[in-house]
């Protein structure tokens, strides 16, 4: 709120009322005329009343502290909150370490503040709703800064047979025909200036297409800024069951001669990693392909993310080509480039041209180690 304030009124017969107003965190005490006889304290602007016995008699500091606590409890409702963790953060049914777990927040996950109480915040993150300790959360400008770093603007196609072009022109060559509902990461103005040295008109949107810039007509695109979301226990269970089902399906499909040959040469994790690398950096230098795989392996080794290649790659909202279905489609058609398979094998063997980096995105507007069109940090 532009002029956020909380009014705490103490009304006792024959006495002046004490009115505390908080403007942007500053405190101002005012003396007002008593209105009537009432042994209640009112907090205007929020639904909260206290009996006079709950506040120490004639103790202005107690009134100030109580008012400030209520402001803290209600003032962030509806605002962005981000996880600030080195290990996976448990989200609980009620505020308190002994309450039942309902899900998890991983590093970089965000959500919306629903309520705050006693050092805990109730959040909504995707399908996950529950309480997390404020000790492991970021609010305000800190949350916004992290969201800008890890969040992504997604372009979603709203029509079928949409051409993704090599330049912002109807006469330009075509990379592919897109189906309705396909999702790609939007390349913002800074990133576009860095990678392509151009400024785009409002008629076109630039998107990341396997590590190179593709251009689609803005008329047939819907955009949305998203940050990774937490997972409920049910979602984790469903994901694990889906992985088991996929493994069973792969075993059955291995009866086909070609798939048997591929499966003999590489593991499931290797195939998945190679497909992700191709979708994210298939047209990037080989070093950049290894770097994408290294980020996945760094997350596997970090306590702030799931601890397997599959779980890191399939964690909600972490990699756009996974959520859009492009990784699954690539694995199904088997057209994985040999360079991406080799890059995946190197990354899984411990090669990392980006040190311990846990993130990457299109370069431009952010500091970090730049390889090809990506920046790693």
User: What are 55-85's pLDDT values in tens digits?
Assistant: 444 445 555 555 445 444 456 888 999 999 9
Mean pLDDT highest for which of 26-35, 55-64, 162-171, 267-276? 162-171
298 or 50, higher pLDDT: 298
Q: What is the pLDDT of residue 22?
A: 33
Provide Rg for the chain, Cα atoms. Answer: 26
Q: What is the pLDDT of residue 65?
A: 54
User: What are 342-368's pLDDT values in tens digits?
Assistant: 999 999 999 999 999 999 999 998 999
Q: What is the pLDDT of residue 62?
A: 56
Cα–Cα nearest to 176, from 329, 71, 293, 375:
329
Q: What is the pLDDT of residue 218?
A: 96
Q: What is the pLDDT of residue 251?
A: 67
How far is 157 from 154, CA to CA, in rounded Å?
10
Tell me if residue 318 falls in helix, strand or coil: coil
Q: What is the pLDDT of residue 75?
A: 62
Contacts for 209 with CB less than 8 Å, ≥ 6 apart: 164, 175, 176, 184, 283
Does pLDDT of 319 surpass 70? yes
Q: Under a CB-based contact definition with an 8 Å cutoff, are residues 22 and 4 in contact?
A: yes
162-178 average pLDDT score: 94
Q: What is the pLDDT of residue 324?
A: 83
Measured between its terminal Cα atoms, the distance across the chain in Å is: 34
Phi, psi of 81 (to 5 degrees): -135, 140
Structure tokens at 171: 């006469």
Q: What is the pLDDT of residue 253?
A: 60
Tokens 């103005």 correspond to what residue? Answer: 189
- How far are the Cα atoms of 3, 69, 145, 179, 340 from residue 65, in angstroms, in the given order? 20, 6, 29, 57, 59
Q: Domains of the chain by range and CATH?
A: 7-74 (no CATH), 80-150 (2.30.30.40), 153-226 (2.30.30.40), 254-376 (1.10.10.2520)
Does pLDDT of 117 surpass 70? yes
% the chain with pLDDT above 70? 75
Long-range contacts, stretch 196-203, CB < 8 angstroms, 24+ apart: 198/168, 200/168, 201/168, 203/168
% the chain with pLDDT above 90? 61
Strand partners, 274: none
- How far are the Cα atoms of 42, 75, 91, 116 from residue 70, in angstroms, in the given order? 11, 8, 23, 9
Q: What is the pLDDT of residue 266?
A: 42
The total number of residues written for the chain in this structure:
377
155-179 average pLDDT score: 94
Q: Where residue 95 falls among pLDDT bands split at 50, 70, 90? A: very high
User: What are 206-242's pLDDT values in tens digits?
Assistant: 999 988 999 999 999 999 999 999 999 999 999 888 8
Least confident of 26-35, 186-195, 198-207, 317-326: 26-35
Does pLDDT of 45 surpass 70? no
Mean of pLDDT over the chain:
80
Cα–Cα nearest to 49, from 80, 10, 88, 4:
10
Does pLDDT of 252 surpass 80? no
Does pLDDT of 254 surpass 60? no
């Amino acid at each position: 709120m532009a002029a956020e304030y909380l009014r705490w009124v103490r009304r006792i017969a024959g006495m002046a009322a004490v009115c505390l107003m908080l403007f942007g965190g500053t405190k101002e005490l005012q003396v007002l005329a008593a209105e009537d006889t009432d042994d209640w304290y009112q907090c205007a602007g929020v639904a909260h009343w206290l009996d006079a016995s709950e506040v120490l008699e004639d103790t202005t500091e107690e009134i100030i502290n109580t008012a400030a606590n209520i402001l803290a409890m209600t003032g962030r409702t509806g605002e962005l909150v981000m996880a600030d963790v080195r290990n996976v953060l448990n989200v609980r049914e009620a505020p308190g370490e002994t309450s039942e777990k309902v899900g998890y927040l991983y590093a970089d996950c965000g959500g919306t503040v629903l309520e705050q109480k006693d050092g805990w915040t109730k959040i909504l993150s995707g399908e996950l709703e529950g309480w997390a300790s404020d000790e492991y959360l970021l609010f305000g400008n800190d949350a916004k800064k992290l969201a800008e770093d890890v969040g992504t603007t997604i372009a979603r196609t709203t029509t079928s047979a949409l051409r993704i072009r090599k330049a912002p022109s109807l006469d330009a060559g075509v990379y592919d025909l897109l189906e309705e509902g396909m999702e790609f990461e939007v390349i913002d103005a800074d990133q576009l200036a860095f990678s392509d040295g151009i400024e785009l008109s409002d008629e076109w949107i630039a998107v990341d297409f396997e590590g190179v810039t593709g251009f689609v007509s803005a008329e047939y695109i819907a955009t949305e800024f998203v940050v990774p979301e937490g997972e409920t226990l049910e979602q984790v269970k469903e994901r694990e069951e889906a992985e088991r089902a996929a493994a069973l399906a792969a075993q059955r499909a291995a009866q086909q001669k070609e798939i048997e040959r591929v499966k003999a040469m590489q593991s499931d994790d290797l195939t998945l990693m190679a497909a992700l690398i191709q979708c994210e950096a298939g047209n990037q230098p080989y070093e950049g392909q290894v770097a994408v795989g290294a980020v996945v392996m760094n997350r596997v080794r970090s306590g702030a993310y799931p601890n397997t290649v599959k779980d890191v790659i399939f964690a909600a909202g972490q990699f756009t080509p996974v959520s859009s279905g492009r990784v699954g489609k690539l694995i199904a058609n088997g057209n994985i480039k040999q360079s991406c398979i080799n890059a995946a094998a190197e990354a899984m063997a411990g090669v990392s041209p980006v040190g311990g980096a846990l993130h990457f995105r299109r370069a431009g507007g952010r500091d970090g180690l730049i390889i090809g069109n990506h920046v790693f940090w």
